[in-house]
Structure 1
């Protein structure tokens, strides 16, 4: 965002809106998928049936700690039943358990044919353990436990979700049907804001067509839920700058109340693997930098600079002190 010249926006489907919403559209898309499948799925009246002729039944997992997450799962279940005749059962689960047992698998690696070419999972991990033949530790159909932030401060981080065999997070076995790697490389090599915008227009237009996940869009101009919520810009953003938002006037002393989306057991960032701890850790540990009211980089612990975008220099502020009795902060501490 933020000004610049015109970028070319290709036509792409906006599923769930206007003519691309409803049972007729959903069933036609399902029939197209049936034709490409080796399994004999179909419809018996309003009901989607499996090869045995029984109604298709699936589960959708949601966070046991979030009523909002539960309502979202129930809404999706209702939509799938009304529009596709699928029986969907919402299941509550602890977020950490889902992450460790359902969202993860044993890294096996392997190869598969993608777009007519053999692709190797050369660096498999728990969240992308291998091709589709490598499954998670526990079986699951759908989940709304985790969301994907598709417009973070640095959009290049989206590569961690959408780059197939190279992605750090690919628990659903998504194989991009377009050359996503070259588009991310184009974005990395961009020398202007317009060039990087164009690269990501192309990336997200393709993702909109392929729908590797159920894309629930959320505008970045949403006003904070609490009218007393204030921050660096008029409208509440999508969460990356959460520590900059507060209720009423911030104070340099006294108590501070905040909330997290889930419980957690540690404030040590080296050992934490629970999403709920993020907010608390941000309060307990000073970050290296933040962003000012104009969304511009603002150094706190250190200043950052680079000449080529690949090698970065971090220069500590003078006289930074740990709490007693640990003394002055030095570069060696990092």
Structure 2
């Protein structure tokens, strides 16, 4: 599935992505096979990982309906993000296959940001602040009930898999900032990720990572569906696109209209399927929001086509021999807006210590765990005005490629300090959180007024449901230093939201917009259109069907065996090859098979070629469910 991005690589460090923008493939021909898992496949769980075993005859179905102890058919609620038909078709396929098992599925489609707010975010009480993991799964629940969630992607971070911590470690740990579904691993994952983070031995890291991915494949906290290829459509007069690499778009500032040498002019319009939830970088962990913010702020640094450091606000870095201390050097021409002066290392230290690492999390930082290791805050200091020193508790050879400073933003000390001083005097977490909410509504944050010359464009206006508009910054710090003197080449860059996919694609055809994500079903049409360039970019986001293991989900979803049975019934091959027209690969754990850390021998393939058994799934459920449940 394609995504709602702006054709930049900001999504490589973000956590969540909405997958509702791809195109339609009808359910006709999408009925999965009905085989039972063969020995050594995903059915018996010994995990030899054979992806192409011969299917065997399926056991007969146990009945047409699964009923609960009250005699009612088991009905599960499934919410998914709208904006296109591939996600909808996938969810219809899930409903169809689970219906064969005997489970009724009620589908609800909502806009992605609404899904995050009402179903993913949770809180323990009415007065508490909602986050993506507000605490115990027995106490903290979402505003609306759900059992399964589709149309959402989780970043797999194949360069630095320790960065998957927010999704999978125990809900009691402050680093589990995105475990909104209340997953508890069957065996400890956090210690293995900690050890892998500090190890300099590749073989050791390989063993630790592959063990974690094996646990996730067996636990099935989510049905890992597919790793998709981003299908991007640009008008042919947009040049300077760069390579179709994993880090595609890291230097999007070089784009321009026309052929020949770049010239300044025109308005670049990205056609998006969904709006943004926030312009506050502290509360943004999704690609839709970051697409807007990133127009006005470049961030600390990026990773280039070779997956290596390329400076933005930080022009360089040095690491000591032990690889536990990293010193980053800021450029000396960075200016905040709204009168906050030059960006200095003191801004970063204050922001990290008093906002990102603050206990409690008064500012509502959705990635609160980034600046902690083993539950302890990472030490930061400012040896000089332009130097930020990061001292880690242990060796970490991959620190620079982790989403800690990679792609990170900062707020000026002068903006944050008045709020933090009030927080220090406030009594109780609720009062502190209220101050954080006030800061979130600060006009300078909501209009990005503080961003100064830190990005290629300046904020002009934002209609949450319609358009985000930004204009060329004539004082952009990167012009003449990182990039050519005239960068950015567009006079204006905007993100236009389209409620209907057909309208968005029509706008690309006519030139009303200059870029949008393409659905698989329409790729060939646009490849045959001389006015459009189609790019195919590998994605790190795993398309998930999430199982709610909190108190407002079906209680039986807390059992891995039940989740395994549901995943067994849904053919990933069908989702990848038919619904996504081959623009996806089946996913069996939270790591793509092209990753160096993926070990096929450790992965159990639920939903693979030999695991689409309806009768087999029923028998798995019959064994896992308590007395009173039965097939009729």
TM-score in terms of structure 1 length: 0.70
Structure 2 CA distance for partners of 1:46 and 1:175, relative to 1, 3 Å = same
The one-character-per-residue Cα deviations of 1:180-203 (angstroms, maximum 9, x if unpaired) are 122112211211334323321111
Matched, 1:138 2:147: no
The one-character-per-residue Cα deviations of 1:226-270 (angstroms, maximum 9, x if unpaired) are 4979866545x3xx6554569987857333232444212653424
Asked if the contact 1:261/1:276 (under 8 Å) is kept, the reply is: no
Residue aligning to 1:154: 160
Query: Superposition pairs for residues 22-171 of structure 1, below 5 Å?
Result: 24=58, 45-82=63-100, 84-107=101-124, 126-132=132-138, 134-165=140-171, 166=173, 167-171=176-180
SS at match of 1:218: strand
Asked if the contact 1:232/1:294 (under 8 Å) is kept, the reply is: no
CA–CA distance in structure 2, aligned partners of residues 20 and 215 of structure 1: 22
Q: CA offset at residue 47 of structure 1?
A: 2.3
Residue aligning to 1:288: 300
Matched, 1:330 2:339: no
CA–CA distance in structure 2, aligned partners of residues 75 and 313 of structure 1: 51
Asked if the contact 1:163/1:180 (under 8 Å) is kept, the reply is: yes
Residue 205 of structure 1 is aligned with which of 203, 214, 224? 214
Asked if the contact 1:260/1:279 (under 8 Å) is kept, the reply is: no
SS at match of 1:140: coil
Which segments of 5 or more consecutive residues in structure 1 lack a partner in the other structure?
Answer: 1-9, 28-42, 109-123
Asked if the contact 1:289/1:298 (under 8 Å) is kept, the reply is: yes
Structure 2 CA distance for partners of 1:187 and 1:48, relative to 1, 3 Å = same
Matched, 1:187 2:196: yes
Q: CA offset at residue 286 of structure 1?
A: 1.4
Compare the two structures and name the one with the higher strand fraction: 2
Q: CA offset at residue 309 of structure 1?
A: 4.6
Q: CA offset at residue 315 of structure 1?
A: 0.8
Matched, 1:12 2:47: yes
SS at match of 1:217: strand
CA–CA distance in structure 2, aligned partners of residues 97 and 200 of structure 1: 34
CA–CA distance in structure 1, aligned partners of residues 55 and 134 of structure 2: 32
Query: Superposition pairs for residues 163-312 of structure 1, below 5 Å?
Result: 163-165=169-171, 166=173, 167-218=176-227, 222=229, 224-226=231-233, 233-235=243-245, 237=246, 242-244=249-251, 253-254=264-265, 255-264=267-276, 266-270=278-282, 272=284, 275-302=287-314, 303-307=316-320, 308-312=322-326
Asked if the contact 1:290/1:299 (under 8 Å) is kept, the reply is: yes
Q: CA offset at residue 137 of structure 1?
A: 3.2
Aligned residues: 287
CA–CA distance in structure 1, aligned partners of residues 221 and 331 of structure 2: 44
CA–CA distance in structure 1, aligned partners of residues 293 and 240 of structure 2: 21
Structure 2 CA distance for partners of 1:185 and 1:232, relative to 1, 3 Å = farther
Structure 2 CA distance for partners of 1:177 and 1:318, relative to 1, 3 Å = same
Asked if the contact 1:96/1:274 (under 8 Å) is kept, the reply is: no
SS at match of 1:256: strand
Q: CA offset at residue 205 of structure 1?
A: 1.4
Structure 2 CA distance for partners of 1:248 and 1:287, relative to 1, 3 Å = closer
CA–CA distance in structure 1, aligned partners of residues 253 and 335 of structure 2: 26
Which segments of 5 or more consecutive residues in structure 2 lack a partner in the other structure?
Answer: 1-44, 349-632
TM-score in terms of structure 2 length: 0.39
CA–CA distance in structure 2, aligned partners of residues 129 and 154 of structure 1: 26
Stretch moving more, 283-292 or 202-211: 283-292
Indicate the structure whose relative CO is greater, using CA pairs within 8 Å and at least 6 residues apart.
2
RMSD of the alignment, in Å? Answer: 3.9
